[in-house]
Amino acid sequence: WVAGYTGSADFPVLNAYQSSLRGWRDAFVSHFSSTGALILSTYLGGESSDSGDALAGDGGGGVWVAGTTHSTDFPVLNAYQNSYGGSEYDAFVSHFSSTGILLSSTYLGGRSWDLEAALADDGAGGVWVAGFTKSTDFPVLNAYQSSLRGGYDTFVSHFSSSGTLLSSTYLGGWSSDY
């Protein structure tokens, strides 16, 4: 599995969830076989700028992808957060099956900058998401730290295999934390 972003209207797609470029830059997710054959490849994005930045397997052949979006119409499905949170970038977290079916996709962010940095599988089909935020209204649930303390704070969020948010917390001190 690979992810990234493209502004190419002729990017290779195969068995795609989204077959065409919607913004000036969309995320992409592609899956190759062990012999290098392209199994599936799809755009993922809305009318603005979207980037796929991190991947983690789900233990069943599928993949989680996280990135950043500036699109108010980013594809959401079984979402924790259905709408764009801010004037800057929101993080997004999307889950694809091994055959490229979109299982869940959500915004993750508040009114300011929210950028993901890493994903890790949780061993049960879910995923941990880490990043940093400047939003004072970042989504928190079962939080260790419920409010922003510095210019930027780290965030750690945990999603179940079905895309349900299990926990989400700030993690930081008085200065900026990334």
Residues 63-94 pLDDT 10s: 999 999 999 999 999 999 999 998 789 999 99
Cα Rg of the chain, angstroms: 16
Residues of the chain with pLDDT under 70: none
What is the predicted pLDDT for the residue at 1? 97
Three-state DSSP class for residue 68: strand
What is the predicted pLDDT for the residue at 88? 86
CA dist., res. 74 & res. 19, Å (int): 14
The alpha carbon torsion through 76, 67, 27, 120 (nearest 10 deg) reads: -90
Given a contact cutoff of 8 angstroms between Cβ atoms, the answer to whether 163 and 106 are in contact is yes
